[in-house]
Amino acid sequence: MLIALYNRVFEEADIPLLQHTFHLLKENNVRVTVFKDFYERMLPHIDFEQEPLLFTGYDDLSRNTNFMISLGGDGTMLDTVCFIGDTNIPIIGINLGRLGFLAAIPENEIDIALNGLIRGSYTIDKRTLVHLDSSIPLFGESPFALNEFTLHRKDTSSMIKIHTYLNGEFLNTYWADGLIVSTPTGSTGYSLSCSGPLVFPQTSSFVITPVAPHNLNIRPIVVPDDNVISFEIEGRTDNFLCTLDSRVETITREVQLAIKRERFTISLVRLDEHNFLKTIRQKLYWGIDSRN
């Protein structure tokens, strides 16, 4: 078995956990490949009992990798999506951050998680991605996102106008600070904070959510993910922000943009005792009565 490890914010406080992780993997004869920058930051602090393989991104990540372990928060886990791409390598998130909705496994359960991977005691959840088509090259070789695509104003405090179309048919003009198109997975993230609905991960849909809309009668809308969503942008400045998850590009109003469902999916590892309803109750306090 070959397991990849990724972390983007190395903390010395995590050294005991990391040392324990590498020891446990060696005890179970698991080969390890580590993100190169992460390895170099760990090197002065960790006793590697076996020399790991190294990778820097999608191109040199071994296609024989059985799992990718993300050590950090949800942002760290979103980074791994670009490394995995269309390889179908399952991702499991160990939460070393705060909320940890995607990276739902707490660090004190890392032994359970690793043993589950080794024994095969887990479930694979397939998650859809959003894909961006644009008239100029954007986001390099990874024009896709697990959580959401967004458009935002830039260089001004004024609202922008986003004319939005479904399969070429006019949907609405949003007078707002921006617009979010989220996947079901992303419905628990930025979209939720802008009053978007919670959507079950298995739902074949996109959620279109305005950011601070001026019109009171504008609300988030759920559309089938077999639609192509396109946009025209107007504003008082020439530049706007376009994002895929945590990655950002600056665009002008001349750039043509369209969103559709990506042709491949991402596989997320879920331990058997974890599920969506349990996670939203624990992390988002769904249905919790504070009077009790």
Provide the token pair at 74: 């949800």
Q: Are 143 and 244 in contact (CB under 8 A)?
A: yes
Give the end-to-end CA distance of the chain in Å, rounded to a whole number.
47
Sequence length of the chain is 292
Sign of the Cα torsion 193, 212, 260, 72 reads: negative
Q: Are 196 and 178 in contact (CB under 8 A)?
A: no
DSSP of 209-273, one letter per residue? Answer: EEES-S-TT---EEEETTS-EEEEEE-SSSEEEEEETTEEEEEETT--EEEEE-SS-EEEEEETT
- The reply to whether 155 belongs to the active site is no
Q: Are 179 and 164 in contact (CB under 8 A)?
A: yes
Give the whole-angstrom CA distance, residue 71 versus residue 258.
Answer: 33
Q: Are 149 and 243 in contact (CB under 8 A)?
A: yes
Scanning 73-218, the segments in alpha helix (DSSP H) are 74-84, 110-119, 190-193
Residue of 74, 125, 225, 245 marked active site: 74
Give the residue numbers marked as catalytic.
74
